[in-house]
Amino acid sequence: MFKREVIADLTRKKRVLADSLECVDACCHECLGLNFSSYVFRVCGGNECTVASTRLKYALMDTRDQDRLAYYRKNISEGRVDAKMGTRLLAYAADILLAWLIALIAFTAGIQILINGGLSKELGTLAKSMQDEAIASSLIHYTAEGAAETDLVRSERYVKAIYGYDGSEQPKDELFQYYCVYVSKGKEAIPVSDFNKNILKIDDADSFFELHGEYAVLKPENVVFLDNYYSIDKTAEGINLHKAIVDFYSAAHDAAWKQFREAEPYVGMLNEYMAKATAYYVAIGGVHIGCYFLSSAICFLLIPAIKKRGTTFGKKILHIEPVMLDGKPITLASIFIRGAIEMLLSCFLIPLCGLFIYGFDSMTVPFLVAGPVVAQLSIFFIAGLILSIVSLVFAIARKDNRALTDLAGGTWVITADPVSIRNAQAELKAKMKEEAERGSDGE
């Protein structure tokens, strides 16, 4: 009964050699286990069973699997052995490291040229002009180190300026200087009366100021509170008044600064500066891309094409090389196809070219600005990582371990290490001898 079931199952799945069936008939039925889903045979014992399982396994192989097995044995016997996946990954890592180091050196040189170029000098001139105009407006003050004063420092200076002002001369605070003294192409000075009414709100009941001749001064009670604030023992009234004046000044200063920024000549200089700054940062992005393509072209195109063997720096030091599928030396066209794919897979290096100068801020450097659309270098980083992972999955999932570069170039990677080749040939020779001995014993 078992024999008929086995024969029926074999007939339904594949045509089986007649001598294999005779051998199965002669064997103990319980010693041969069959798993047709993977064509794997478990042998429990008996030399006849071993021979039968080997013959049945070969008979049940797909034609492509049989061709692949013969092709594999032929390649090994002729010295062409598949490179191990780990070795290939190490070679790729070495190539990436070399490309990155070359890109870093090239970027350092390229960015220095850009910094010393005409566009950088124009930006410096515009920035100086904008700074001088801001200083002339009295709205911005700079420290001895050249940094703009903070809001806290500026507010405290204003409070002290009006606290010590008695109205005997023209006020020195920045609000009065901006509205009543500063004149530019897009702004005229306003009368003192308008300044007192519209800016200081002197007609309001809760105003901090009162008129003293032409100019406005702090009300006497507010002076008393500030006396208390600047004394050793502060009271709540003095602290609250100081905070209220600071809040008033901050709001008035923000309104004045907004007006200044939107008026000529500052607004024209600002727009010109922003346009040139955008072009400058796009140029920095271009330096990133250019340095990467230079370094990757050296590593993935020039070095492999020097001796027309397709071996990159990493493959050379780890003794592996790509060949055509028929085992012939790689063609120049395949070298360039493989190199182009490797350059595409490694484009995640582009934002890393400026890592030592700009840090991870280089991820946000734009390389293309078209209206509201701003394309940043992080696009290359994400795309390169995704493509590299896809290529790795391809190589791991396929039986022949061919990555995207191999599929595109019609190649496969073999080892050039003599020791690995001799070991593979010895292993194949021993396996074929063992199979031959099993076959002769079974007959």
Domain match, 247 and 156 both: yes
Is 292:349 a contact under the CB 8 Å cutoff?
yes
Q: What is the largest CA-CA distance in the chain?
A: 129
Q: How far from 242 is each of 51, 126, 231, 247, 366, CA to CA, in Å?
A: 101, 38, 13, 9, 45
Domain membership flag for residue 126:
no
Phi (first) and psi of residue 368, to 5 degrees: -155, 130
Domain membership flag for residue 73:
no
The CA distance from 256 to 178, in Å, is 8
Is 408:322 a contact under the CB 8 Å cutoff?
no
Domain membership flag for residue 335:
yes
Q: Which of 209, 238, 262 is at the close of a domain?
A: 262
Domain membership flag for residue 133:
no
Is 178:137 a contact under the CB 8 Å cutoff?
yes
Domain match, 254 and 332 both: no
Domain match, 302 and 419 both: yes
Long-range contacts of 261-265 (CB under 8 A, 24+ apart): 263/184, 263/185, 263/186, 263/187, 264/184, 264/185, 264/186, 265/133, 265/184, 265/185, 265/186
Domain match, 318 and 415 both: yes
- The confidence score (pLDDT) of residue 418 equals 78
Q: What is the 3-state secondary structure (H, E, C) of the chain?
A: CHHHHHHHHHHHHCCCCHHHHHHHHHCCHHHEEEECCCCEEEECCCHHHHHHHHHHHHHHCCHHHHHHHHHHHHHHHCCCEECCHHHHHHHHHHHHHHHHHHHHHHHHHHHHHHHCCHHHHHHHHHHHHHHHHHHHCCCCCECCCCCECCHHHHHHHHHHHHHCCCCCCCCCCHHHHHHHHCCECCECCCCHHHHHHHHCCCCCCCCCEEEECCEEEECHHHHHHHHHHCCCCCCHHHHHHHHHHHHHHHHHHHHHHHHHHCCCCHHHHHHHHHHHHHHHHHHHHHHHHHHHHHHHHHHHHHHHHHCCCCCCHHHHHCCEEEEECCCCECCHHHHHHHHHHHHHHCHHHHHHHHHHHHHHHHHHCEEEEECCEEEECHHHHHHHHHHHHHHHHHHHHCCCCCCHHHHHHCEEEEECCHHHHHHHHHHHHHHHHHHHHHHHHHC
Q: Which of 232, 262, 292 is at the close of a domain?
A: 262
Domain match, 347 and 210 both: no
Q: In this structure, which amino acid lies at residue 42?
A: R
pTM for the full model? 0.72
- The confidence score (pLDDT) of residue 10 equals 45
Q: Which tokens hold the place of 5?
A: 């079931």
- The confidence score (pLDDT) of residue 83 equals 82
Burial (CB < 10 A; 0-12, 13-18, 19+), residue 58, is: middle
Domain membership flag for residue 249:
yes
Domain match, 196 and 307 both: no
Domain membership flag for residue 298:
yes
Number of structural domains the chain divides into: 3
Domain match, 314 and 282 both: yes
Print pLDDT tens along the chain (443 aa): 333 444 444 444 444 433 443 443 333 333 333 333 333 333 334 444 444 444 444 444 455 555 555 655 666 656 677 888 899 999 999 999 999 999 999 999 999 999 999 999 999 999 999 999 999 999 998 888 878 889 999 999 999 999 989 999 999 999 999 999 999 988 999 999 999 999 999 999 899 999 999 999 999 999 999 998 998 888 898 999 999 999 999 999 999 999 999 999 999 999 999 999 999 999 999 999 999 999 999 999 999 999 888 999 999 999 899 999 888 899 999 999 999 999 999 999 999 999 999 999 999 999 999 988 999 999 999 999 999 999 999 888 888 889 999 999 999 898 877 777 777 767 767 777 776 766 655 55
The CA distance from 294 to 382, in Å, is 20
**How many CB atoms are located within 10 Å of the residue 353 CB?**
31
Domain match, 282 and 395 both: yes
- The confidence score (pLDDT) of residue 74 equals 61
Domain match, 55 and 86 both: no
Domain membership flag for residue 267:
no
Residue among 16, 101, 80, 48 at smallest CA distance from 428: 80
- The confidence score (pLDDT) of residue 191 equals 95
The residue range of the domain holding 165 is: 152-183+188-262
Distance, first Cα to last Cα, the chain: 26
The answer for residues whose C-beta is within 8 angstroms of residue 323's C-beta and 6 or more apart is 80, 310, 329, 330, 411, 412, 413, 414
The CA distance from 207 to 201, in Å, is 6
Domain match, 216 and 290 both: no
Answer positive or negative: Cα dihedral of 402, 404, 406, 408.
positive
Q: Which of 262, 295, 310 is at the close of a domain?
A: 262
- The confidence score (pLDDT) of residue 78 equals 62
Domain match, 160 and 108 both: no
Domain membership flag for residue 284:
yes
Domain match, 248 and 306 both: no
